[in-house]
Amino acid sequence: MSARRSSLLRIRFLVERLTAAPNSTDQTVDRNVRLLSWFNFFGDFRMYGPIMVIYFAQVTGSYTAAASLLAVKMLSSAAFEVPTGVLSDRLDRRGTMIAGAVVMVAAHLGYAGASGYGLLLAAVVLEGLATALWSGNNESLLYDTLLEAGREEEFPRHSGRVNSMFQIALALAAAIGGVIAGAWSLRTVVVLSVVPQVLCVLVALRVREPRVHGPLESNVLAHLGSALRGIRRNPVLRRMTLVSALRYSSESAAQLSPVFVAGLWPLWALGLWRTFGHGVSFAGFRVSGWVIGRVGAARTLLSGELFDNVANFVALVKPTVFSPVLLGSPAYGMSTIAQQTLLQREFTDRERATMGSLASLLGSVLYALVALGAGLVADRWGIVAALLAIQAVVLIALPLAWWVHAHASSHPAGAGEPSHFGGCDKRT
C-alpha cells in the first residue's frame, strides 16, 4: 500500500512540475490582457474629446491658437516616436507603459488648470510624449506576453479584444461629456477627465513584464540602425510598414467627415453617427480574432481594405442620406488587427518597439502631408473632393496588401501566413 502511495506521489509531483510553468505564464497572459483592456478603456475615456478645440479656443481666446495646439501635439508625438521606441526595447515594456501613464496625468492636469496658451502648450507636448511612449510599446507588451507563454498565435484574438475597448470608451465618454458640458461647463468636463488617467497609472502598475528580449546592441545608434536594416531587408515587413503608414494617413478623413455628414443629416444626428461608428468598429475589433483564425491575417487585411475602399467611394461619388452609414465599416477593426498581426510576426524580438515606432513615425509624417493636401483640396473644390483625394492615397496600400497576400498563399507557414525571411530573423 505504501509503495502504491509512493508511486502516486511521484506521479503527482511530476505532473505538478510539468504544469507549473505553463500555468504561471498562462496566468500572466490572462492578467496582462485583462489589464491592457482596462488600460485602453481608461486611456481613451476622455470626455472632452469632441469639444477639445472649443475648450482650447475658450482658454486662449482664439481658434487659430487652438488649432496650433493640436498641430504641436501631433508634432511632439512624432518627434518622440523613435526615442521612446528605443527606450522600450532597451529598458522594459512595463516601465515605459507606466512612464507614459504618469506623463499623461501631468498633461491632463495642465489642461484642467490652464488659464492661457503657455500651460496648454506644455500640456500638449506632454500628451505627445505620453502617446509616443505607448506607441509601439503596448502592442509589443501584449505580443511579448503571448510569446513568452508560447501562445503568440492567439495575438489576433487578444489584440482585437484589447483594442475594442478604445471604441467603447470613445462612445461612452463623448455621450457623458456632452451631458456634463451642458449641465456645468467645459472646464468641469476636462477636470473630470483627469480621473480615468489616474486609473491608468494604477492599472499599469499591476502589469507584469514579459521576459523575451534578445541581446541588445552596444549603443542606441547601433540599435536604431539594426532596426532600420531589419525593415529594409525584409520584403514583407517593408511593405507592411508602408501599408500601416498609408492606413494611418487616411485617418485624417475623420477630421473632415463630420462636415460631409452635416450636409446630409441634421446637426443633432452627428452624435448618433459618431456613436454608430464606434459601435461598428467595436464589433469589428471583437470578431477580428475569429476572422483571422479562419482566413488568415493577410487575406483579412486585403479583403478589409477592398471593402472599405469600395464602400467609401460609393458613399462619396453619389452622396445620399445612406452615405454616412457606409463610412462606418466593421472592416476597419478587422483590418487593423490583421495589420498589427502581420507586423508583430515580422518584428524582431529585441527591436520590436523600435520598429513599431518607426512605422508610426512614417504614418505621422504621411498623416500631416495628407491632411494638409486634403485641406487645400477642400478649400478649392469642396469637402467631397477632399475625401476622395484621401481615398486615392489609401488605394496605394492595396497592391502592397495584395503582394503580402500572394506571398502568404505561396509560402504557407502557420495557417497560410507569411514566414520570416529576408534578414529579419527572430533573435532571442
CATH number assigned to the domain comprising residue 97: 1.20.1250.20
- If one compares 163 and 2, the residue with the highest pLDDT of the two is 163
What is the pLDDT averaged over residues 343-372?
87
Residue 40's pLDDT is: 95
* pLDDT higher than threshold 50 for residue 412: no
As a whole number, mean pLDDT of residues 344-352 equals 89
Residue 64 pLDDT level (bands cut at 50, 70, 90): confident
Mean pLDDT of 220-236: 89
Which phi-psi region, left, alpha or beta, contains residue 328 (left: φ > 0; alpha: ψ -120 to 50)?
A: beta
**pLDDT for the residue 98:** 96
DSSP structural state of residue 206: T
Q: Quick one: 316 and 199 in the same domain?
A: no
| pLDDT at position 179 | 82
Q: Does residue 350 surpass a pLDDT of 80?
A: yes
**Residue 245 sits in the same domain as residue 286:** yes
Q: Is residue 427 situated within a structural domain?
A: no
Taking residue 325's Cβ as centre, other Cβ atoms within 10 Å add up to 17
Q: Could you tell me if 59 and 201 lie in one domain?
A: yes
Q: What is the pLDDT of residue 426?
A: 37
Q: Are residues 401 and 293 in the same domain?
A: yes
pLDDT higher than threshold 60 for residue 424: no
Residue 5, pLDDT above cutoff 90: no
Does any domain span residue 266? Answer: yes
Straight-line distance from the first to the last Cα atom of the chain, in angstroms, rounded to the nearest whole number: 49
Q: Are residues 111 and 69 in the same domain?
A: yes
pLDDT number for residue 213: 57
User: What is the per-residue pLDDT across 47-56, written as a single tens digit (0 to 9) for each?
Assistant: 887 778 788 8
Domain co-membership, 175 together with 236: no
Q: How many domains does the chain have?
A: 2
Residue 144 in this model has a pLDDT that exceeds 80: yes
Domain range for residue 143?
28-207
Q: What is the mean pLDDT of residues 133-158?
A: 90
Q: Residue 141 falls within a domain, yes or no?
A: yes
Q: What cell was used for 163?
A: 483594442
Asked if pLDDT for residue 154 goes beyond 80, the answer is yes
**pLDDT score, position 142:** 92
Give mean pLDDT, residues 318-338.
Answer: 88
Smallest Cα–Cα separation from 281: which of 248, 328, 322, 243? 328
Find the length of the chain. Answer: 428
Quick: pLDDT tens for 101-142. 999 999 999 999 999 999 999 999 999 999 999 988 898 899
| C-alpha span between 243 and 393 (Å, rounded) | 11
**Distance between CA 7 and CA 26 in Å, rounded?**
29
Q: Within this chain, do residues 334 and 380 fall inside the same structural domain, yes or no? A: yes
pLDDT in tens, 7-63: 544 455 444 444 444 557 778 889 999 999 999 999 999 988 777 878 888 899 887
16: exposed, middle or buried (Cβ count in 10 Å: 0-12, 13-18, 19+): exposed
Residues sharing a CB contact under 8 Å with residue 319, sequence separation 6 or more, in sequence order: 260, 263, 264, 384
Shared domain check, 47 and 93? yes
Look up the pTM and report it: 0.80
Lowest mean pLDDT segment, chosen from 2-6, 79-83, 149-153, 280-284: 2-6
Is 254 in the same domain as 348? yes
pLDDT range class, residue 212, cuts 50, 70, 90: low
Give the end of a domain, one of 207, 227, 245: 207
- At residue 214 the predicted structure's pLDDT band, cuts being 50, 70 and 90, is low
Q: What are phi and psi of 423, to 5 degrees?
A: 90, 0
Under a CB-based contact definition with an 8 Å cutoff, are residues 111 and 126 in contact?
Answer: no
Domain limit, last residue, from 173, 207, 241: 207
Residue 234, in any domain of the structure: yes
Task: Give me the pLDDT at residue 15, please.
Answer: 47
151 has a pLDDT exceeding 50: yes
Instruction: Decide: 236 and 407 in contact? Cβ < 8 Å.
Output: yes
pLDDT greater than 70 at residue 415: no
**Model confidence at 242, in pLDDT bands (50, 70, 90)?**
very high
Most confident of 104-113, 155-164, 373-382, 395-404: 104-113
Boundary residue ending a domain (154, 176, 207): 207
Q: What is the CA angle 317-322-325, rounded to 5?
A: 100
Band (pLDDT 50/70/90 cuts) for residue 375 is: confident
Q: Which candidate, 289, 302, 284, places its Cα nearest to that of 409?
A: 302
